[in-house]
Amino acid sequence: MNIAILDDFLGVVQSLDVYRKLDGHQVTVFRDPLTDVDELGRRLAAFDALVLSRERTKITASLLDRLPNLRIISQTGVIPHIDVPACTQHGVVVCSTRTGPSYTTAELTWGLILASMRHIPQEAVALREGRWQTRFGRGLRGRTLGVFGYGWIGALVASYGRAFDMKVQVWGREGSLARAREAGYDTAPDQRTFFETSDIVTLHLRMLPETDGIVSAADLAAMKPDALFVNTSRAALVEKGALLAALRAGRPGHAAVDVYDQEPVVGALDPLVSMDNVVCSPHVGYVTRDRFEIMFESAFEQVDAFARGEPVNVVNPEVLGR
């Protein structure tokens, strides 16, 4: 098969051990992101298969109209960026599967919490500039960690809070709350109280139509002036523009983010990047070699299985009968 691997920003996919799973196929790897539909169409028109790197490229009906040879799209994780009904209409098989909890994202979340509470990036810059101890940090022990969403990653982050002797409370759908209570965590009575009483709020929700903008401007305004808001999930979970406005108003007083409205962020164009009370990282929650090996192993296996006539993890199986 003629396969395109998209958005390999770091240029590392071909160095992965699992890349050998594509032996025998013709493979082209693209590092630079494209958003223009016409340009994408010209770039990808000759390919039979696309391997996506999570949600970096949107697959729309308009793009599919420009890809006459496309037969399969493969990736791992959630697929809100793929128009599955349009793929079905175009006869394109979509394959995706979840690959277990993202320990790397949970670890980065905790790294951002520590970095923000202790002002590690700012102090490192000050030391490099010849200054010594420029600001007070804040400890974690005894503070309230609010975990919004108790899925795989949320459960890991909650356990880290418990290990740091924090009071952990959870908010989310009833299933999440039930699992959290079973694990011995407190749950908030409602969303507003959750934001009002947490010293740190960290989001761990899937991006779905019902979670779009689930964190409102009013929720953020209810947070304490010295509270920290952390988002390593998706920017669109927060009402558009609400986090920037809230930080400028001083409630919450701090944020740590790994996700943005428009990605990639180049030239520091997102205003959050330049704010002194925000610790920013460039969507690296899952960007580790071990996580990439797991993700691309599944994605490559799906393409190879399709090429053998034995497709697996098919999201739109009705296409297979055509």
- Please give the positions annotated as active site: 234, 263, 283
Retrieve residue 187's tokens. 């749950």
Q: Nearest Cα to 75, choosing from 284, 293, 296? A: 296
How far apart (Å, rounded) are the C-alpha atoms in residues 184 and 64?
48
Angle at 318 between CA 312 and CA 322, to 5 degrees: 100
Q: Could you tell me which of 207, 211, 210, 247 has the C-alpha nearest to residue 227?
A: 247
Q: Considering only CA atoms, which of 256, 282, 260 is closest in space to residue 122?
A: 256
Q: Rounded to the nearest 5°, which phi and psi values hold at 123?
A: -70, -35
Transcribe 33-82 into DSSP letters.
----HHHHHHHHTT-SEEE--TTSS-B-HHHHTT-TT--EEEEES--TTB
CB neighbours (10 Å) of residue 214?
19
Which amino acid appears at position 72 of this protein? I
Cβ distance 142 to 167 under 8 Å? yes
CA 87 to mean position of chain CA atoms? 23
Chain length of the chain: 322
- Rounded to an integer, what distance in angstroms lies between the CA atom of residue 71 and that of residue 75? 14
Report whether the peptide linkage leading into residue 252 is cis, meaning its omega lies within 30 degrees of zero: yes
| Residue 182 to residue 7: CA distance in whole angstroms | 40
Q: Is 29 in contact with 74 (CB distance < 8 Å)?
A: no
Would you state the structure tokens that stand for residue 242, as one six-digit string?
Answer: 């609400």
Nearest to 157 by CA among 173, 169, 175: 169
